[in-house]
Structure formats: C-alpha cells, structure tokens
Amino acid sequence: MTMRIVVLGSGSVGTYVGGALLDAGADVVLIGRERMRQRLLQHGLVLTDMQQRAVRLAGSDVPYSVDPQALAGADLILLTVKSSDTAAAAELILQHAAATVPVLSLQNGIGNAATLRQVLPDWNVLAGMVPFNVVQMDDGRLHRGTQGELMVEASPLLAAWLPLFARAHLPLIERVDVVEVQWGKLLLNLNNPLNALSGLPLKTQLSQRAWRRCLALLVDEALATLDAAGIVPAQVARIAPRRLPLLLRLPNWLFTRVAAQMLRIDPEARSSMWEDLQAGRRTEIDYLNGAVVALAASLGRTAPANQQLVALVRQAENGTLPALDGKVLWRQLQAR
C-alpha cells in the first residue's frame, strides 16, 4: 500500500529531504515556491553530500507543486518552512489535509510544534530537528555540507516510515527529550548569524579564533539563560554543550587538533542564514539568537550579546551593514 509523503516548504532542506526520499522509492510530493520549481526544471534534482553520494533526477521526474491543495493526498506531512511561516503553514494543513495525518516539524528554532498544535489541535504533531545544513550551489546542486542524523519526537506513528527514511540515508533517531534536543541544536545554530555576517564558508570561519570567541560568548550567555530557566540542553554533537565555549576559545593550533571532528565540514558548506542574506530574504534570527533573548526577558534577565547579533542581522537584511571583522566584533560583544 503506497503511503504518500508531502513536504510543505520545499526550499533547500525540504527539497533535499524530499528528493532523497524520492530517490529511495517513496511516493513524495514537494510543495514550495515557484523559484525552486524553476530551479529544478532548469537543473534537475541534484543532491550531493560529504560522503560523495549523489542523486540525479530530471526536473520533470520531481513532483513539485506550488499549490497547497497537493496536501490533500498526504499520509505524512514534513514541514520545512521558515519558523516565521509556521502558523500560515498550519492553516494550509488545516484547509487541505486530513486530520489523521501526522505532521513532523523539521524546522529550526524552538516552539514550532507548539504553534502547530495551537492551530491543529486534532492533528498528531511531532517535533523534530535537522542537524545538517543544505546549500544551493551555483551549478544547481543541493549540497549537504555537514553531518548528523534527523532527530524526532518518539512516536509509534513513525514506525511504518522508519525503513523508508533509513533507505534514503536519513535515519530517524527517536527521542523522548525533543525539546532539550532542540535547545542543544539551537546552541550550535547561534553560529548561523556569525557565519552569515562573516561572508566565509563555515570551515574557514570556524578555523579563525576571533569568530569562535564570538560564538563562545553567545553560547555562554545562552547556557546561563537556560540554567535560570531550568532547561538542560541535550548533546546533539560530539561535544557536550557545557564544554563547547572552552573548546571554541582554544588557540588555533590546539583547536585544530582537539576539535578535528568539529572541523569535518565540507569546504562548500555555509549557513542557511548566509543563503537568506544573499537572496535578500528575511532570516530566522528571531527564532535562533532571538529565542535566547526572549527566554531571558521572560525570566527578567538580559542576553546582550545575542541581542546585538539580532540587531546586526537586521542591519544586514536592510543592506546597511558594512563588512565585519571577527576581532572587532568579539571586542564589541565582550564590551556588552
């Protein structure tokens, strides 16, 4: 019996995940914007990763729609829209999909599942986390440049889907502590604006101590906020969250030795926020560093370094931010 997966919000990550599932033999429909549909028609679907795996499909063989009515045939919905679009996406699901369909949120940030449940009280909404980044390359490829496995809220509803995701090289790791997992991922995502503002590939940026010291300040501030809130972030990478700032502050010669695994990043990889700025799109800064600021405010605290990053990204979105130097930014953040 064929089970259909509909990926709602098929940009870089959504099209990569959906394309990998399609290549594995799944019945998949991608729903997204016209610009991605045109990209697929021009270049076809080409997915690459750090393990030299490659998927190549003709654009005409990719079921890509710009019409949300395609949700009507879904047996599983993967939601990959930007966090700011979560409520609007939930309304589309409410209008076009059956209430028996599980909805799996594969989005950045905290609280997307809660937003979905407010709009979709009768749906089975599951939270998830995508650890890797996907970059749209100039030659039409969608390139996965970092490692990690999909982590999702444990549920018996996923049992029938697990073999399919495994065949697509996207195994679903079920977790009962998904909120803590999302906070653990968010700590790593605090680097997204730094990478975007640096203009450098991730590997190059993280190889420079000045940028790492900026990230260490942001993580320290976030950890202090989480402590005050009684939240213990889960370890989602090889390094434990509380050891991360110490590691980041190491001098370059030692960091490259101790953190060799952390630098196992494809030279082409960049953050999704860099991609958004390049395309003139609004970023998810409010749901990353902004989430730390909001949590701190709810506790009567401040998070000035993360607040500064929010302001800088807003300037970059408006095209009014000059080029940044890592050392100068670190001194500015430290002063705050």
Domain identity same for 47 and 191: no
Pairing of strands 27-31, 4-8: parallel
- Comparing 109-113, 225-229, 255-259, the range with the smallest average pLDDT is 255-259
Assign 248 a pLDDT band (cuts: 50, 70, 90): very high
Domain identity same for 158 and 223: no
Q: Are the beta carbons of 185 and 192 closer than 8 angstroms?
A: no
Structure tokens of 38? 């045109």
Q: Which of 141, 175, 209 is the last residue of a domain?
A: 175
pTM: 0.91
pLDDT of residue 299: 98
Domain identity same for 200 and 299: yes
Domain identity same for 92 and 123: yes
Pairing of strands 45-49, 54-57: antiparallel
pLDDT of residue 138: 78
> For residues 133 and 231, which has the higher predicted lDDT (pLDDT)?
231
Structure tokens of 113? 């599942």
pLDDT of residue 263: 78
Average pLDDT over residues 212-218: 97
Per-residue pLDDT of 107-164, as tens digits, reads 999 999 999 999 999 999 999 999 888 988 878 899 998 888 999 999 999 999 999 9
pLDDT of residue 258: 87
Examine the pLDDT at 25 and tell me if it is beyond 80: yes
Examine the pLDDT at 17 and tell me if it is beyond 90: yes
CATH number of the domain within which 260 lies: 1.10.1040.10
Q: How far apart, in whole angstroms, are the C-alpha atoms of residue 41 and residue 209?
A: 42
User: Running DSSP on this structure, what letter comes out for residue 238?
Assistant: S
Q: How far apart, in whole angstroms, are the C-alpha atoms of residue 61 and residue 193?
A: 35
Q: Which of 109, 143, 175 is the last residue of a domain?
A: 175
Structure tokens of 58? 């003709």
pLDDT of residue 260: 81
Position 174, amino acid: E
Assign 261 a pLDDT band (cuts: 50, 70, 90): confident
Domain identity same for 228 and 304: yes
Domain identity same for 101 and 249: no
- 139-to-15, 40, 47 alpha-carbon distances in Å: 16, 11, 11
pLDDT of residue 198: 94
Q: How far apart, in whole angstroms, are the C-alpha atoms of residue 206 and residue 211?
A: 7
- Comparing 48-57, 74-83, 188-197, 285-294, the range with the smallest average pLDDT is 48-57
- 182-to-10, 72, 143, 152, 239 alpha-carbon distances in Å: 21, 29, 23, 10, 15
Average pLDDT over residues 305-314: 96
> How far is C-alpha 220 from the geometric centre of its chain's CA atoms?
21
Domain identity same for 241 and 135: no
User: Running DSSP on this structure, what letter comes out for residue 289?
Assistant: H
Domain identity same for 290 and 168: no
Q: Are the beta carbons of 179 and 84 closer than 8 angstroms?
A: no
Q: Which of 119, 154, 175 is the last residue of a domain?
A: 175
Domain identity same for 167 and 235: no
pLDDT of residue 293: 98
Task: Write the CB contacts of 320 (distance below 8 Å, at least 6 apart in sequence).
Answer: none
Domain identity same for 121 and 235: no
Domain count, the chain: 2
Domain identity same for 161 and 233: no
Per cent of the chain over pLDDT 70 is 99
Average pLDDT over residues 192-218: 95
Counting Cα atoms < 13 Å in the Cβ hemisphere of 162 gives 13
Domain identity same for 96 and 140: yes
Domain that holds residue 313: 181-335
